[in-house]
A and B are shown apart, each in its own frame.
Chain A
Amino acid sequence: MANSKSYSYQIKGNKISLLQDQYINDGASNSYGPDGKPSWTSPHETAMGGMEIEYAYSPNYEMPFLQPNINQFGLVGWTIVDGYLTFISSARNWTASPYNQIAANEYIYIGNSSRWSGIHKVQEAQTDQGSHGGVKTYTKVNQSIRYFTDADVSWDEDSGSISDIDDNFDDVFKSNADVPYIWITGSSAANANNGLISGWDIDGTIISITDALYYYYNSGEALTLVSATPHFTDDTTATIYIREAFYDPCYIVSDINVLSDESDNIDLPEYLSLALVYYLKAKLAEDAGQLDVKEYNMREFRVMVEKHESSKIAGGSRRVMGFGF
C-alpha cells in the first residue's frame, strides 16, 4: 500500500515548482518540522507518473484513428541535434516500413510526453546507424547538451563494452551521475548496439555497460516499453555518436492533418464556429485601424462563447455548502 503524501505547487515562469511536505506523517505541517528543518522541500522520493496536469489545448489539427505499429509508435525519450528537438527510440530504423510514414516535412503528434506533447514538424528521420538516429524536428530547444563523436571505436560482445573511446569523452560526459542517460548511434553491426542507455560507466577509454539498462520496444509491440541489460554485437572500427538524452516514454503519431487549407474542418461546435467568425472580423477591423468595429466584434465573440458555456449547465443554480467533496 502506498504511503500518503502531501504536495503543493507554484508556477514559476513556464515551469511548475513542486514541493513536498516531508513531515506529513508526523502530524505537523507548519513551516518547520519538529526537528527544526523546513517542512516544504523539493520532492524527496521519485514517483513514476506521479504528477498529472490537466490542461486545455488548441484543436488546430485532426488526429487519425490510432493504430499501434501502423501510425502510432513508442518513443523512449528525446535529445537535441543542432539545437533542434529530436525524438528517439532504440534500434529503430525510421526509413523502413512501417516507420517511414514519418518523413521530412510531415506533421507528427507527440503524446504522453512530460514536456513535448503536441504537434511538431519533421525535419529529418534517420536509421539508428545515422549521426543522430532519431526523428529530428523543426522545434528549437533553448538548451545545450553534451555530445561526443569518435571514429574507429569498437563494440565488444564478450566484455559488454565500447572501447578505443577518445579521452575527451571522460572530460565531456564525466559520469552517469552527471549524465544519467546517453543516446548511442552509429553502429552498423546490430540494432542493439544503438539506443538509450542508463547506468553506464567510463574507465579510461572504455565505456562499460555491465550495470547498465537499455530501453527499447519489442518489434510488433509498439507501446510496451522494455528495459533490460544491453547486449552488444562485435563491431570494430566504427564511428560512434553519443548524445546526452532525456528519458521520457511517450508516443509518436503520423498521418496528422494540420489546419492548412480551405477544405479542412475546424473541430468546434457549430455555435462556437460562428463565434470564430466574429473573432476574424475583429482581427480584420484591427488591421484596418477600425478599433470601434474591432471592439464590437470582440464583444460579440465573447458573448457567444459565454452563452455556449452557459448552455451546458442544466436547470437553475444550486449552492452546496462545504468543499473538497
Chain B
Amino acid sequence: MTVKQIMERVGMTQTGRAIAYIKDGLNEINMLAETHITTARINIIKDQRFYSLPSDAIKILDIRCKDQLNNNDEYRSIPRAIGSPISKDSDGK
C-alpha cells in the first residue's frame, strides 16, 4: 500500500504530517509484531564491558555469543543477569 492510499483511507491531505505519523506507526507495529528483523555482530573487546545497542533497534529480541557453552563456534543465546555483578567495571568502557 502506498502513502497516498493510506492518506485517502484516513481522509488526510497533509503529506508531511501523514508520513510522520506513518513512521510512528511503523515503530509501534514493530514493537508489537516484529515485522522486520535483522542481526548485527559486534566485536567483543577484552576488558570492555559496555557495548552500544544498534541505533536503529526498536526491540531487542535475542543476544547471542560465539562459543557460548560450546566448542563449535556456534552462536547461542546468553542469559540476562539479575542483580549487580560483584566485580565493577574498572575503566567505564
Contacts and interface: CB of A to CB of B under 8 A. Distances in A.
Contacts of A112: 40-41
B52 A15 contact: yes
Given A40-B86, A58-B30, A273-B1, A7 B22 contact: no
Interface stretch (A168-176, A212-220, A277-285): A277-285
Contacts of B52: 14-16, 114-115
Contacts of A301: 25, 28
A9 interface: yes
B81 to A, nearest CB: 4
B39 A54 contact: yes
B45 A43 contact: yes
Contacts of B34: 56
Give the interface size class of chain A. 35 or more
Interface string A250-276: 000000000111111111111011111
Number of chain B interface residues as a range: 35 or more
Contact of B22 (A5, A12, A276): A276
Given A40-B86, A55-B54, A266 B35 contact: no
A4 interface: yes
Interface string A1-38: 11111111111101111110000000000011000001
A11 B9 CA distance: 40
A59 interface: yes
B59 A19 contact: no
Interface in B65-93: 65-73, 75, 78-81, 85-87, 89-90
Given A15-B51, A117-B38, 20 more contacts: A4-B69, A6-B69, A9-B78, A12-B50, A18-B44, A18-B51, A38-B85, A42-B89, A52-B63, A53-B40, A53-B62, A56-B61, A57-B36, A58-B26, A60-B22, A260-B19, A262-B7, A263-B3, A302-B32, A306-B32
21 contacts: A1-B72, A4-B69, A10-B80, A16-B52, A18-B44, A18-B51, A40-B81, A47-B44, A50-B41, A53-B40, A54-B64, A57-B56, A60-B22, A114-B54, A116-B54, A117-B56, A260-B19, A266-B3, A276-B25, A279-B28, A283-B21
Lowest 9 A-B CB distances belong to which pairs? A118-B56, A50-B44, A273-B1, A279-B25, A38-B87, A55-B57, A262-B4, A114-B42, A42-B49
